[in-house]
């Protein structure tokens, strides 16, 4: 089982046992889940977490999309919680976020007849 909170903390460089910022990170994760819901990614109702017990599999069983969601979530939360100071790095993150959004929209857009 892959905890959503723990995996995002790892991407932020925060150890699993350090819980001082958990409430802040959880708030940002839930904000990104709302964005994903508005994009049509994931369950019909917005997904929320409250602690480290929620897993990526709880959010979606679609392994192909979940990998992109993890990348997107990590980048979005990083930009909110701990944005890079360098302009080039911030721009690279923004470009990667935009690409993830585009790809997730394409992956989740139902085919038209």
Residue 93's contacts (CB-CB under 8 Å, 6 or more residues apart) are: 75, 78, 79, 84
Q: What is the pLDDT of residue 108?
A: 81
Domain containing 67 equals: 4-108
Residue 113 in any domain: the answer is: no
Residue 1's pLDDT band (boundaries 50, 70, 90)? low
CA 7 to CA 111: how far, in whole Å?
Answer: 32
Number of domain units in the chain: 1
Percent of the chain whose predicted confidence (pLDDT) is above 90: 83
Predicted confidence (pLDDT) per residue in 61-103, tens digit: 888 789 999 999 999 999 999 999 889 999 999 999 999 999 9
């Amino acid at each position: 089982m892959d905890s959503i909170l723990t995996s995002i903390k790892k991407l932020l460089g925060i150890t699993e046992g350090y819980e001082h910022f958990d409430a802040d990170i959880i708030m940002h994760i839930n904000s990104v889940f709302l964005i994903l819901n508005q994009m049509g990614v994931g369950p019909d109702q917005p997904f929320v977490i409250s602690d480290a017990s929620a897993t990526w599999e709880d959010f979606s069983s679609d392994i192909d999309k979940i990998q992109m969601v993890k990348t997107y979530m990590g980048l979005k939360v990083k930009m909110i919680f701990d944005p890079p100071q360098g302009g080039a790095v911030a721009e690279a993150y923004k470009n990667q976020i935009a690409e993830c959004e585009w790809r997730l929209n394409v992956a989740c857009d139902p085919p038209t007849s």
